[in-house]
Amino acid sequence: MAASTEAPEPWYLALLGFAEHFRTSSPPKIRLCVHCLQAVFQFKPPPRVEARTHLQLGSVLYRHTKNSELAQTHLEKAWFISQQISQFEDVKFEAASILSEFYCQQNLVDSAKPVLRKAIQISQQTPYWHCRLLFQLAQLHALEKDLVSACDLLGVGAEYARVMGSEYTRALFLLSKGMLLLMERKLSEVHPLLTLCGTIVENWQGNPIQKESLRVFFLVLQVTHYLDAGQVQLNPYGLIIGNHSSLPLAAQRAHVCVTVMHSMQAGYLEKAQKYTDKALMQLEKLKMLDSSPILSTFQVILLEHIIMCRLVTGHKATALQEISQVCQLCQQSPRLFTNHVAQLHTLLGLYCISVNCMDNAEAQFTAALQMTTHQELWTFIVTNLASVYIREGNRHQELYSLLERINPDHNFPVRRFLRETLKMSNAEDLNRLTACSLVLLGHIFFVLGNHRESNNMVVPAMQLASKIPDMSVQLWSSALLKDLNKACGNTMDAHEAAQMHQNFSQQLLQDHIAACSLPEHNLISWTDGLPPGQFQPQNGPTTSLASLL
């Protein structure tokens, strides 16, 4: 609580000192702090002291109490009075910033916008506050999904920072704009912007920690851009293996999230699980000290990725418990639930497929489709829903209707030939896609009677699936190897493949029984509203494993 720059009255210094003492006590004595600040008004202070005290009272009430009405009154008075005073920028713009933040918390976004716009208009001679307020208004627009307005503001900020000679701030504006462009899927605009950012970051000579923070921010966006384009192999500057423990926590968490995404898409699932388990432990520790919403967001993102890994590696019971954990996190935050409900239903749909609950899988994917407008997620959901229709065998009409709805744009090129898919996935180190392509080609060649070519596909598919590890591809490959060797008269090899198939089957069966016996299995029936908070125990699996094999 800084005092006025003019020589203050002794009574003001005394009251301000007591207020600060009570505010910083352990535990804080907020009621006494408020009383001391309110006492300032009894002396009919000059406008500068009056405005500053309103700001201090509003801030304390907003941060430390539930008296939102009184907090709003003081913050509005601070903003109104300070605008009438010249050379009073610190109080004026801090009042505008905190008042806007308060309005947003109270869901009064339309009240926050004019305050920020006015503050931005009159702060052009105060670079720090002008940039901070631009970021704040851009964030507000981004939260409302108005990414175009947010990008425009960040562009204004970048140009302002360039004129003012602050390359660090310019990089922050441009990188933030790049992040929003990635969210909008404007990939053609992202590439030149990231190229410019890379040049600025590498050429900037400043604080080493700030430079490294910018560098990681840039690399996270660049790797995300490559992942969006399916170019897993492109991993510039060793982002994944670098040590960034000295960075701000948000940068560290974003770095880990992208590492997990990269490991998943490349098919290094054990590596993805290792990074995720480590990051989730760190996040739990941080949440004991800090209740920032960004921590829960990172937690949900990591869990969503690791759940898919668990389903692939044959750990359905663990995946189901982690889906339940995501449900609990989303129940604590309406915004988090709104942003991730479609992903939740999609994950439940994938789980339902893994335990052969096809009716529930269809219901989950149908619910997810109604809750998303994201093109990539929509395509992912529709593709998996099509697989449900194929597996049920008698849904040809629904399947054809669904396929008619899939109209891939340039981001989803139609890959007509498995060999082309195999070539592309192998070139980009997409190991799981390569393994799936190999085993499917091997199956086709086996059916066509081309045993030699089938063997050339199935053997590397098994090796790659073991490396990932992918239980479903291993199960499929071992079954094919068994039949292939039997058809070729290789009795010993056929027996060995049959034993492998039996081992994989037993592992899947045990996990199947464990998952279906969990009380969380009831989540497969949830398709509307908030997820259930309580689960009834299960008597055991209601589906057989036979149809999975």
Measured distance CA(502)–CA(26) in Å, rounded: 63
484 occurs within a structural domain: yes
Q: What's the CATH number where 459 sits?
A: 1.25.40.10
Residue 312 binned pLDDT confidence (cut-offs 50, 70, 90): confident
Q: Which domain holds residue 421?
A: 412-525
194 occurs within a structural domain: no
On the 0-12 / 13-18 / 19+ scale of CB atoms within 10 A, 545 is middle
Number of domains in the chain: 1
Here the tokens at position 25 are: 């006590």
485 occurs within a structural domain: yes
Measured distance CA(198)–CA(225) in Å, rounded: 14
SS (H, E, C) 372-441: CCCHHHHHHHHHHHHHHHHHHCCCHHHHHHHHHHCCCCCCCCCCCCHHHHHHHHHHCCCHHHHHHHHHHH
288 occurs within a structural domain: no
- What rounded mean pLDDT belongs to the chain? 83
**What is the per-residue pLDDT across 325-380, written as a single tens digit (0 to 9) for each?**
999 988 888 888 888 999 999 999 999 999 999 999 999 999 999 998 888 888 88
440 occurs within a structural domain: yes
**What is the per-residue pLDDT across 376-399, written as a single tens digit (0 to 9) for each?**
888 889 989 998 998 888 888 888
Q: What is the pTM assigned to this prediction?
A: 0.65
pLDDT of residue 280: 77
pLDDT of residue 330: 87
Compute the average pLDDT of residues 420-445.
Answer: 82
More confident: 278 or 235: 278
pLDDT of residue 92: 95
pLDDT of residue 549: 43
**What is the per-residue pLDDT across 126-150, written as a single tens digit (0 to 9) for each?**
999 999 999 999 999 988 888 899 9
13 occurs within a structural domain: no
486 occurs within a structural domain: yes
**What is the per-residue pLDDT across 92-104, written as a single tens digit (0 to 9) for each?**
999 999 999 999 8
Residue with tokens 């199935």: 458
pLDDT of residue 401: 83
Residue 214 binned pLDDT confidence (cut-offs 50, 70, 90): confident
Q: Assess whether pLDDT exceeds 90 at residue 502.
A: yes
476 occurs within a structural domain: yes
